[in-house]
Amino acid sequence: MIRSINPATDEVIATYEAHSPTFVERAIARAQEAQASWVYTSLDTRATHLQRLANTLTERRDALAELMAREMGKPIREGVAEIDKCAWVCRYYADNGATMLADLPISTERTKSYVAYRPLGVVLAVMPWNFPFWQVFRFLAPALMAGNAGVLKHASNVTGCALAIDDMVAASGFPAGLFRTLILPSTRVAEVLTNPGVAAATLTGSDVAGRAVASRAGASLKKTVLELGGSDPYLVLADADLDIAVTACSAGRLLNAGQSCIAAKRFIVHTSIVGEFTTRLAERMAEAVMGDPLDPGVTLGPLARADLRDDLHDQVRRSLSAGARLVIGGTVPPGPGAFYPPTVLADVAAGMPVYSEETFGPVASVMSFDDESDAIRIANDSDFGLGAAVFTRDVVRGEQIARERLEAGACFVNSFVASDPRLPFGGIKMSGYGRELAANGMHEFLNIKTVVVD
């Protein structure tokens, strides 16, 4: 039995029966059948369906935001923004997909030679709970526009969101069976991945889950894209505008209660300003209004599950025992719900959990540096490589650091890291491989076919 629990109240919202192996096999077979026709549907028709899906998202925005608040604790205002972003990615691929899929002529001595882009078939998406709609739509929009089909194994605690996506795809006129949610525990992902009808897989989740999916897919020679964890460093140089830096760093740390792979996590600050930065960051984070995510005035909801809150608190306690200094927060509040307050730890150093481990919650780790080479060393001293940011008034210098020296898939100057449908998204090292979004993301699940005519 799969349960959905409101993390703000600990109340069980709904229970679901897992789909049987027979149901799963039939769903994959139906997706194959639907995709066999969908691949020959015109690009204009595919784009029309995506535009309808964007409109459906917009029409249902408030209800979907409330569903997210109840299932995983996202504040209403953030939920509304997430749905708007999902509509954006649908419209982006509807408007630009034909250009991305156009044949690419290559000049050779032959009469004609070019690259054609053809869909792979049914793609399995294994998605997490932290952005229950956005994570799915950034895969779904390019995959369907490219002519693929999809089956979704969503996180169990957001099953209601998964079924809502199913319903919206059907309501937008896509062929029956082209996209389907499978209600399954994580232990049954291999059952889907090894089905001969599944051509490829994409996963957003932990590095442990990524290894499991990659090894299973590799044994079947199936393409995978993995977007895994992150421990994003934010470098605050001596000449940084602290108003900009504090605003961006606090926002990047508190968005979605800090439950984001690309959340700001490690703040590496020049010794000349680390004291002022830490004080101002703590003051700004303390302004967050923690409470019922259904309340429009709340800016910080609970963590998605109590066990995740407990794991985060354990990281904080172990870091304090190792010598970190508590500035604010660090105490589990009484009462129901998986709440955790904005927390700032100063004097963080190597060997502490908050230095080397991903902290999935509203905990900021502040450390200092004396020179630029030391800052770069600390930033890159991580198994992860998803995002990074640099704050400096010297934009040319900041861009050089971002482009040349930081080991991450996305590097920003004077703002916090965020995904954008127009830009490729993904990481290196233990943060995974492959890219989502932009043309790069669409091409991940295409047969890049060479065609030569004499």
Helix (H) or strand (E) holding 15: strand 12-16
- CATH 3.40.50.10070 for the 2-228+431-453 domain, yes or no: no
Q: Each residue of 202-219: pLDDT tens digit?
A: 999 999 999 999 999 999
> How is the beta sheet containing 432-433 ordered, strand by strand?
179-181, 149-153, 122-126, 198-204, 223-227, 432-433
For 222-245, the pLDDT digits (tens) are 999 999 999 999 999 999 999 999
The per-residue pLDDT for range 316-348, each reduced to its tens digit, is: 999 999 999 999 999 999 999 999 999 999 999
Domain boundaries, the chain: 2-228+431-453, 232-413
Tally of helices (H runs) and strands (E runs) in the chain: 15, 20
> Please, which pLDDT band fits residue 200 given cuts at 50, 70 and 90?
very high
Residue with tokens 């229950």: 132
Between strands 387-391 and 232-236, the pairing is parallel
pTM of the predicted structure, to 2 decimals: 0.97
| Residue 227 a catalytic site member | yes
Q: What is the pLDDT of residues 124-154, one digit of tens each?
A: 999 999 999 999 999 999 999 999 999 999 9
Catalytic pick among 82, 261, 358, 411: 261
The class of domain 232-413 in CATH terms is: alpha beta
Residues 367-401 as b or e (16 or more Cβ within 10 Å = b): bbbeebeebbebbeebebbbbbbbbbeeeeebeeb
Tokens of 64: 């979907």
- Name the residue type at position 257: A
Examine the residue annotation and report whether 90 is marked as an active-site residue of this protein: no
What value does the mean pLDDT take over residues 391-411? Answer: 98
Annotated active-site residue in 71, 227, 358, 436? 227
